[in-house]
Amino acid sequence: MIKILFIGDTVGRQGRMAVSKLLPELKKKYEIDFTIMNGENLSHGKGMTIKNMDEMHECGVDFFTAGNHVWKFKETLAYLDEEDARLVRPANYPKGVPGMGHKIVEIKNGLKILIINLQGRVFLKPDIDCPFRAADEILKENKGDYAAVIVDFHAEATSEKITLKHYLDGRVSAVLGTHTHVQTADHHVTDKGTAYISDVGMVGKEDSIIGIDKESIIDKFLYQLPTKHEITVEGSSFFNAVLVEIDEKTAKAENITPIFLKNL
């Protein structure tokens, strides 16, 4: 059995501080084999710098997935093309954009896992390529003896996420939803061995609106004018993740456990 910890969208400095505080102990407690984080909000809530990724790697994050904000920093675009990059971007962007949407990673004792990042189209970016067909292509081109196949589906609509679960059911070890920053209560393992949750949640400021200072977001809803997203480091934080346990011989999930820690 291998244990993979997937950390939800981590927002800004307060999110990074929470991960730095909690992750080393969590890895020991649960005997984690590999840790993945959706890092597209690492740097002040939008995008991720190399410095911030290195900070998270030093405290125990092994690999990063992304989403629609991955394109913010030029340095990150260059990093995406590096052969040893610990980061994938959504696979269903058009050919020619920097980086890869999947990666094969060795986690321990020669065991390899396939990590896939996809982005939804409903309510988000309808003009990108089809995530369902992109997943098909990756699985067709990367047939192998993997201990696990993990899919981060960065999407807005629960219906689209659930549909992808059914579409990939039995073909991947886990379909884990990200992007909406609110941990859902629908975690389960299908009869065919695919672990699922509509959204893993987030790591960041508790008294906020999905990690952003609430005042600016309230003003945006009241006045319908552009507002700057502020993230001040104050107050308590919470930490959302899921622990997925997978049979390394069959790549079938056995269990998925949500982790929700607060008042940090």
Average pLDDT for 24-33: 97
pLDDT of residue 240: 98
The span from the CA of 50 to the CA of 53, in Å, is 5
Closest CA to 90 of 82, 99, 81: 99
Query: β-strand 63-65 against 34-38: which pairing, if any?
Result: parallel
Average pLDDT for 205-231: 92
Q: What is the per-residue pLDDT across 138-183, written as a single tens digit (0 to 9) for each?
A: 999 999 899 999 999 999 999 999 999 999 999 999 999 999 999 9
Contact 66, 154 (CB under 8 A): yes
Average pLDDT for 188-199: 98
What is the token pair recorded at 249?
Answer: 């011989």
Q: Does pLDDT of 85 surpass 80?
A: yes
What are phi and psi for residue 50, nearest 5 degrees?
A: -60, -40
> What is the reported pTM?
0.96
Q: Does pLDDT of 232 surpass 90?
A: no
pLDDT of residue 214: 93
Q: Does pLDDT of 264 surpass 90?
A: no
Contact 86, 115 (CB under 8 A): no
Percent of the chain with pLDDT over 90: 92
Average pLDDT for 211-230: 91
Confidence of residue 229 (pLDDT cuts 50, 70, 90): confident
Contact 117, 91 (CB under 8 A): yes
Active-site positions? 69
Walk me through the domains of the chain, giving residue ranges and CATH numbers: 2-261 (3.60.21.10)
Bridge partners (DSSP) of residue 149 are: 114
- Per-position b or e across 186-224, b if 16+ CB within 10 A of its CB: ebebbeebbbbbbbbbbbbbeebbbbbbeeebeebeeee
The span from the CA of 89 to the CA of 92, in Å, is 9
User: Which pairs from 259-263 meet CB under 8 Å and 24+ separation?
Assistant: 259/5, 259/26, 260/183, 260/201, 261/22, 262/206, 262/236, 262/237, 262/238, 263/206, 263/236, 263/238
pLDDT of residue 218: 94
Amino acid of residue 92:
N
